[in-house]
Amino acid sequence: MHGEYKVPGGKLVVVDLEVNDGLLADVVVSGDFFLEPDDALEVIAASLVGMPQDASPAALAQAVTGGVETAERAGAIAGPVAMVGFDARSVALAVRRALGYSTAWGDHEFELLTPGPLSPAENAALDEVLTAQLAAGRRGPTLRFWEWQDPAVIIGSFQSLSNEVDLDAAQRYGITVVRRISGGGAMFMEAGNCITFSMVVPASLVDGMSFEESYTFLNQWVLGALADVGVQAFVSGLNDIASPAGKLAGSAQKRMVGGAVLHHVTMSYDIDATKMLEVLRIGREKLSDKGTTSANKRVDPVRSQTQLPREDVIAAFVAHFRSRYRVVDAVLTDDELARVAELDRTKFSDPGWTARVP
């Protein structure tokens, strides 16, 4: 069995192994990383032999760390071990990939969905439907960009409606408030003023990753797409994407029972920051760790940094995604559309759901 794991910003780790009676055997670790002393490589491989086939990433990483520390204490290797460009966890993930528990981008074919304009509630409902479909094995990984006409605020699953939104201001501007199934903060969305996309991926793609690590991992292609349109961006904090000019986007996730992960991003394209501040209650505590006292200064739209039409930016994102991964065009089924309509009516347009945290 053969598995490879490329450390983000680091090196490639390769593991070849066999399984005998449910236990790892004949483990060989290789890669383009740096390791001192040389004989530590054999220690790392030997520490994995005899581990259960279904051992968790944490258990595998602990076995590697423990094996190295034991060898150091016993003087079995020539000096302290230095692992450069990789670590015990990356070895564990390579093992998991060899065993088929963890997958890479190249193991999947992504379906690109372009259903056209939907209401804000329908867009939120479609996220739930697609995630449930993947968890049930009825659809593969998907990518879709939202389109809508009505202005909206999409609040996180656990946010207080009254604390986050000035409902009088929202009503004054004709803004619909919808609660989504993922956590995170509020998304202020006007048609044409932001870029929002959703990805649904199998949990195996982020196997062994913390939430923070999975945000960085799933947003790496976005950084490449932004570079294609002239924006030098980077991951900021837990779930934001920023450039030297300011925050560009926020992302959120929901992990479903059954092994599906919903990951979505809302990016400012040409936001009306003044209106946003009237509708959203962004307090001083929210800004306290951002190095600024003004929410206006936190956001710098993509339009000002690219001078490109929104449609061209989205087209560049799709082209970049296609260049990196296997992508096929797809459509929603009648059953999926019916389920979206049902969830729109019974959940996402229901005031009881919207105010479930008052």
pLDDT of residue 220: 93
Q: Which range of residues forms the domain containing residue 137? A: 105-354
64 contacts 43 by C-beta, under 8 angstroms:
no
pLDDT of residue 293: 42
Residues 182 and 284 in one domain: yes
Residues 132 and 258 in one domain: yes
Rounded Cα distance, 229 and 22, in Å: 49
- Where does 88-193 show beta strands of DSSP type E? 109-113, 142-145, 152-155, 176-179, 187-189
Residues 93 and 206 in one domain: no
Residues 152 and 285 in one domain: yes
Residues 148 and 294 in one domain: yes
Can you tell me whether residue 315 is helix, strand or coil? helix
Rounded Cα distance, 133 and 147, in Å: 21
Can you tell me whether residue 141 is helix, strand or coil? coil
116 contacts 147 by C-beta, under 8 angstroms:
yes
Residue 268 CB partners (closer than 8 Å, separation 6+): 193, 194, 247, 248, 249, 299, 300, 301, 302
Residues 213 and 81 in one domain: no
Domain boundary among 50, 82, 99: 99
Q: Which string of b and e fits 316-353 if b means at least 16 CB within 10 Å? A: bbbebbeeeeebeebebeeebeebbeebbeebbbeeeb
Q: What is the CATH number of the domain that holds 225?
A: 3.30.930.10
Residues 332 and 251 in one domain: yes
Q: Give the Cβ contact number of residue 308 at 10 Å.
A: 17
pLDDT of residue 152: 96
Structural domain tally of the chain? 2
Amino acid letter, residue 192: G
pTM: 0.87
Residues 148 and 29 in one domain: no
Q: What is the DSSP string of 244-264?
A: TTEEEEEEEEEEETTTEEEEE
Residues 169 and 69 in one domain: no
Q: Give the Cβ contact number of residue 34 at 10 Å.
A: 11
Can you tell me whether residue 41 is helix, strand or coil? helix
Write out residues in the chain with pLDDT < 50, as ranges.
284-285, 287-298
Domain boundary among 99, 125, 141: 99
Residues 118 and 240 in one domain: yes
Residues 254 and 326 in one domain: yes
pLDDT of residue 291: 42
pLDDT of residue 8: 79
Q: Is there a cis peptide before residue 37, judged by omega within 30 degrees of 0?
A: yes
Q: What is the CATH number of the domain that holds 34?
A: 3.30.390.50
Domain boundary among 36, 65, 99: 99
pLDDT of residue 273: 86
Residues 77 and 113 in one domain: no
**Which residue has tokens 């903060």?**
185
